Amino acid sequence: MTVSRYEIHDLDVLNHAEQLLNSCQSYLEMGNLVNQAVQRNAEWRGKQCLNLLAPEAPTSPGVRSLLASEIGTRAAEGHIGPYNRWFAGTRHIDEVEALCMELLKKVFQANYAEHRLCASMIGNAAVYTALTEPGDVIMSIAQPFGGHSSNRLDGPAGVRGLKVIDIPFDHHELEIDLETFRKMAPLIKPKVVALGLSMALFPFPIQQMSEIVREWDGKIFFDGAHQLGLVAGKQYQDPLKEGADIVTGSAGKTFSGPQSGMMIWNDEALTERVTQAVFPTWAATHQVNRVAALALSAAEMLAFGERYMQQIVNNAKALGAALHERGIPILGAHKGFTCSHQVIADVHQYGGGLFIAHLLEKANIITNKNLIPRDSASLWDTPSGLRIGTTEVTRLGMREDEMEVIADFMVEVISKRVLPEEVQKNVIDFRQQFQHVYYCFENGYPK
């Protein structure tokens, strides 16, 4: 019997699941419910939707196959090498993990790489574990300007017991206010300066900031969760070459690999602290199937990354321009809209980001609400912004001309208020032309 109780999760959704399970006549039926839900998602999100979520990318067939491989049933606690493992029988796992690390080093031209992180946020936690002590001061960017919770008080930085000071940010230019930082930082002397944005549009002044914090041996930490694929594909700034001490990022966003994290750095003096922070502190049995999939994604990045990432950025610029020309306010319009895979729309006049994201979903166009500089942090649930990414549609073979079509679909829903169900039919027809993943060994480049 369904009862009312306190839950962070949506009780209606949980109660519906409970009712479905209670209606089953066997445990096999319960298992089939799971398989059916997964298949419905594959049919809808995988084949019928225009996925414009900035944090997502479709994996290649080879990467997807490795995620289901036998090696994923094996445990590999510890560092690479027979005398570093808790378990015997890991010689082929050592081989896979070593290949992954060396491929990541090649991709980023870095001295060191870490592959065992199940999420990029865990990489951020490892950085704070390695480079700070409770009570230390760090600086990071506030959330209304694109900062992420992992570098704020409600994420790993706060859990570590760090004092968090805002990096000054220019709301109009959507960049760090370097001159104000130059005045503030010596007064605060932050142990770490975290450069991380989930609303990542333009590069950071890493070299100048690095020169400033070196006066007190401060560290620059580049949280490249969103931009790491663009860095690998040489379409964004190279944070290590410009002065960052350590870089974390996601494999599942622009890098287009499995959902997981990675870290890169050059300074051998950091190696023991960082590696020990990963194991035994933040990772133990770390999903070797995911490591294998990450390794193959890195090989794909070496083979296809530069053209793939360039098209992602070209498409983002084109989509931003197309929406702007059709009357949708886009942040950074005076600067070419973006230098990354994202564009940000200000849709407060149309009902706000949450309302518009749900409206677009009914038309099979998937985006997400987002805080923008005009918002206060208290508007987390109902912000003014809409975040739009071009990674997935690019990997499906779309180029600038298709961005014009997508903009038309979005404008019909956002400002012309055509019924989403009517637009959905055209979206599905359009999406049927793009059913293959490119920039991978199986399918090469789009024709």
Q: Which pLDDT score is estimated for 99?
A: 98
> Do 154 and 184 fall within a single domain?
yes
Residue 151 lies in a domain: yes
Euclidean distance between the first and the last CA atom of the chain, given in angstroms as a whole number: 56
State the Cα–Cα distance between residues 23 and 180, nearest whole angstrom. Answer: 62
* Domain end position, chosen among 250, 283, 298: 298
Q: What percent of the chain has a predicted confidence (pLDDT) above 70?
A: 99
Q: Which pLDDT score is estimated for 144?
A: 81
402: domain CATH number is 3.90.1150.10
> Do 286 and 362 fall within a single domain?
no
> Do 232 and 162 fall within a single domain?
yes
* Domain end position, chosen among 272, 298, 324: 298
Q: Which pLDDT score is estimated for 411?
A: 98
* Domain end position, chosen among 283, 298, 313: 298
The predicted-structure confidence for 39-94, as pLDDT tens digits, reads as follows 999 999 999 999 999 999 999 999 999 999 999 999 999 999 999 999 999 999 99
Mean pLDDT, range 409-415, rounded to an integer: 98
State the Cα–Cα distance between residues 107 and 308, nearest whole angstrom. Answer: 14
CB 104 within 8 A of CB 158: no
Q: What percent of the chain has a predicted confidence (pLDDT) above 90?
A: 92
> Do 200 and 290 fall within a single domain?
yes
Q: Which pLDDT score is estimated for 146?
A: 78
Of 2-11, 240-249, 325-334, 432-441, least confident by mean pLDDT is: 2-11
Which structural domain range is residue 323 located in? 305-431
Q: Residue 254: pLDDT above 70? A: yes
The predicted-structure confidence for 286-324, as pLDDT tens digits, reads as follows 999 999 999 999 999 999 999 999 999 999 999 999 999
Neighbours of 23 (CB within 10 A): 10
Q: Residue 1: pLDDT above 80? A: no
Q: What is the mean pLDDT of the chain?
A: 96
DSSP 400: H
Of 2-11, 266-275, 344-353, least confident by mean pLDDT is: 2-11
226: domain CATH number is 3.40.640.10
> Do 312 and 290 fall within a single domain?
no
Instruction: Provide the number of structural domains found in the chain.
Output: 2
Residue 170 lies in a domain: yes
> Do 163 and 234 fall within a single domain?
yes
The predicted-structure confidence for 165-210, as pLDDT tens digits, reads as follows 999 999 999 999 999 999 999 999 999 999 999 899 999 999 999 9
Q: Which pLDDT score is estimated for 285?
A: 86
> Do 212 and 330 fall within a single domain?
no
Mean pLDDT, range 103-108, rounded to an integer: 98
Please classify residue 157 by burial: count the beta carbons closer than 10 Å to its beta carbon, then call 0-12 exposed, 13-18 middle and 19+ buried.
Answer: buried
> Do 258 and 144 fall within a single domain?
yes
> Do 246 and 352 fall within a single domain?
no
State the Cα–Cα distance between residues 198 and 430, nearest whole angstrom. Answer: 29
Residue 9 lies in a domain: no
Please, where are the H alpha helices in 277-390?
A: 288-325, 353-362
Beta strands 342-346 and 385-389 are antiparallel
Residue whose pair of structure tokens reads 């964004």 in the numeric block: 236
> 143: pLDDT confidence band, cut at 50, 70 and 90?
confident
Residue 54 lies in a domain: no
Q: Which pLDDT score is estimated for 3?
A: 58
Q: Which pLDDT score is estimated for 124?
A: 94
Mean pLDDT, range 236-242, rounded to an integer: 98
